[in-house]
């Protein structure tokens, strides 16, 4: 670079950023995706150049004035094979390379921190587990894998962060996930990219990437007072979930301690990993997701809880290492009439399940 005048270099950078063809690269996967995009542009340019060169040169060489009599050429199997195999080969390279990136983007690492996003007409509600709530904004730290768990309250939306090169549909009825690791502090666009009605183009916001230090400060000052898990605990109590999901020996529902991520045997046969999707389904469509050994008596809460409520409950269950907090909710709610067993003030130690 030392033989390029600094002035010219300044101009080049200015032009390149002003006439950028791609958004800034702000995540770990962005340069990887840009590399593939660059390869594709290159191949396309070469392909286009070949076609244009051939068409132009043939048009000049074989125009009627210069070449009045056409020579009939039937074809050439060799050429057919060449221009079948080479494009196919190039396309297959793009397929494999692209598939690798795709799997990378949609396979979150185990240590990713989770942030929930609920899309609705026409805003994004971002819920941090620590209880920070954002609308049309997303604050994330650099250097940390962040997983987004998305769902829509109404129609299809799509959460798009061009600078991170990630995008994922938010669908009503099921969770979708995507992950990224931000690399460069700054503010970037957040768009909804799936047409969702009148204010689709207003469903935009900012993704703010901060250094870990800044992020910690932001977390503290944006705290709403209760984490999602605490919200979930409150819901758990108000909906009387502990009436069945407790540790009594005759409990009508399975204990939820440590259930998140565990392998559950289902009453219908087979096993399932109790992840976010399973828990959501178990709350909304319980009769199809009954744990083995229990009767299908859980009522559905469809229509009684919002998606944010479900998320809060899931966060509560995720953080449940012991039944202590469940028992606390038992104490603070009334037991439904006709159920056996006295509401207990049994000490956690007596149940032998507390984990530090």
Partner 1 sequence: MSENTIVSLPDQATARIPKDNYITRENGLLSWLLTSDHKRIAILYLISITFFFFIGGALAGLIRLELLTPQTDLMATDTYNKVFTMHGIIMIFFFLVPSVPATLGNFFIPMMIGAKDLALPKINLLSWYLYMAGGLLALYTMTVGGVDTGWTFTTPLSTHYVNTNVLSTGLAVFIAGFSSILTGLNFIVTIHKMRAPGLTWFRLPLFIWANYAASILMVLGTPVLAIAIVLIALERTLGIGVFDPTKGGDPLLFQHLFWFYSHPAVYIMILPGMGVISEVISNFSRKRVFGYTAVAFSSVAIAVFGFFVWAHHMFIMGISNYAVLVFSLLSMLVAVPSAIKIFNWTLTLYKGSITFETPMLYAFGFLGLFTIGGMTGVFLGSSGTDIHLTETYFIVAHFHFVMVGGMLMAFLSGIHFWWPKMTGRMYPEKISQLAAVVTFIGFILTFFPQFILGMLGMPRRYASYPPEFQILNVFSTAGATILGVGYLLPVLYLIWSLRYGAIAGDNPWQATGLEWQTQSPPLTENFAEIPVMDHEAYDYEWLEKQQKEKGVANAG
Partner 2 sequence: MQDSSIHAANAALPAHEEHPAYLRHHFNSAEQQADAAGFAMWLFLLTEVMFFGGLFTAYLIYRNWYYPAFVTGSHQLNVVWGATNTVVLIFSSFTMAMGVWCAQTRRRRGLVLCLALTFILGLSFLGIKTIEYREKIEKHHVPGFHYSLQSFLDPKSNPEVYAEYHDKPLEPDMARHTELYFSLYFLMTGMHALHMIIGIGILGFMILRARAGAYTTGHETFVVNFGLYWHFIDIVWIYLFALLYLISRH
| Closest by Cα among 211, 137, 148 to 176 | 148
Considering only 299, 331, 332, 341, the residue that binds partner 2 (CB under 8 A) is 299
Considering only 89, 143, 265, 296, the residue that binds partner 2 (CB under 8 A) is 296
Structure-token pair, residue 335: 């037991």
Residue closer to partner 2 by CB (options 286, 348) is: 286
Distance CA 18, CA 2 (A): 23
Q: Does 272 bind partner 1 (CB under 8 A)?
A: no
Distance CA 352, CA 165 (A): 48
Site for partner 2 in 274-293 (CB under 8 A): 284-288
With contact defined as beta carbons under 8 Å apart, do 305 and 235 qualify?
Answer: yes
Binding mask 317-356 for partner 1 (x = CB under 8 A): ----------------------------------------
Considering only 26, 146, 196, 320, the residue that binds partner 1 (CB under 8 A) is 196
C-alpha 163 chain-centroid distance: 15
Interface region with partner 1, contact rule CB under 8 A, candidates 81-89, 243-251, 254-262, 315-323: 81-89
Q: Angle at which helices 276-284 and 307-318 pack, to 10 degrees?
A: 120
Interacting partner of 324 out of partner 1, partner 2, none (Cβ under 5 to 8 A depending on kind): none
Q: What is the DSSP letter of 60?
A: H
Q: How many residues bind partner 1 (CB under 8 A)?
A: 88
Alpha-carbon dihedral of residues 53, 59, 62, 68, nearest 10 degrees?
180
Site for partner 2 in 189-208 (CB under 8 A): none
C-alpha 283 chain-centroid distance: 21
Q: Does 109 bind partner 1 (CB under 8 A)?
A: no
- Contact residues toward partner 2 (CB under 8 A) are 284-288, 296-300, 302
């Amino acid at each position: 670079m030392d033989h390029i005048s600094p002035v010219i270099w300044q101009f080049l950078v200015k032009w390149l950023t002003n006439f950028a063809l791609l958004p800034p690269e702000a995540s770990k996967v962005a340069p990887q995706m840009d590399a593939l995009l660059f390869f594709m542009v290159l191949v396309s340019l070469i392909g286009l150049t070949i076609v244009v060169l051939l068409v132009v040169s043939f048009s000049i060489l074989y125009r009627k004035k210069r070449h009045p009599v056409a020579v009939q050429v039937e074809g050439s199997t060799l050429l057919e094979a060449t221009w079948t195999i080479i494009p196919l080969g190039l396309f297959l390279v793009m397929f494999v390379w692209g598939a690798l990136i795709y799997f990378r983007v949609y396979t979150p690492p185990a240590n990713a921190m989770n942030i929930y996003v609920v899309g609705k007409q026409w805003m994004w509600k971002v819920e941090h587990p620590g209880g920070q709530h954002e609308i049309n904004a997303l604050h994330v730290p650099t250097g940390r894998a962040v997983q987004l768990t998305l769902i829509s309250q109404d129609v299809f939306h799509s959460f798009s962060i061009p600078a991170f090169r990630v995008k994922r549909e938010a669908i009503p009825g099921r969770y979708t996930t995507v992950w990224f690791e931000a690399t460069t502090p700054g503010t970037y666009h957040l768009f909804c990219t799936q047409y969702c009605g009148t204010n689709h183009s207003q469903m935009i916001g900012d993704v703010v990437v901060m250094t870990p230090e800044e992020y910690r400060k932001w977390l503290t000052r944006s705290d709403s007072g209760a984490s999602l898990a605490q919200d979930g605990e409150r819901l758990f109590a108000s909906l009387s979930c502990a009436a069945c999901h407790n540790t009594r020996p005759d409990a009508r529902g399975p204990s939820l301690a440590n259930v998140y991520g565990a392998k559950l045997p289902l009453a219908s046969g087979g096993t399932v990993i109790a992840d976010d999707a399973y828990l959501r389904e178990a709350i909304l469509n319980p009769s199809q997701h009954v744990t083995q050994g229990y009767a299908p008596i859980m009522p559905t809460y469809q229509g009684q809880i919002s998606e944010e409520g479900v998320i809060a409950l899931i966060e509560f269950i995720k953080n449940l290492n012991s039944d202590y907090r469940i028992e606390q909710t038992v104490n603070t709610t009334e037991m439904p009439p006709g159920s056996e067993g006295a509401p207990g003030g049994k000490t956690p130690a007596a149940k032998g399940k507390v984990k530090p």
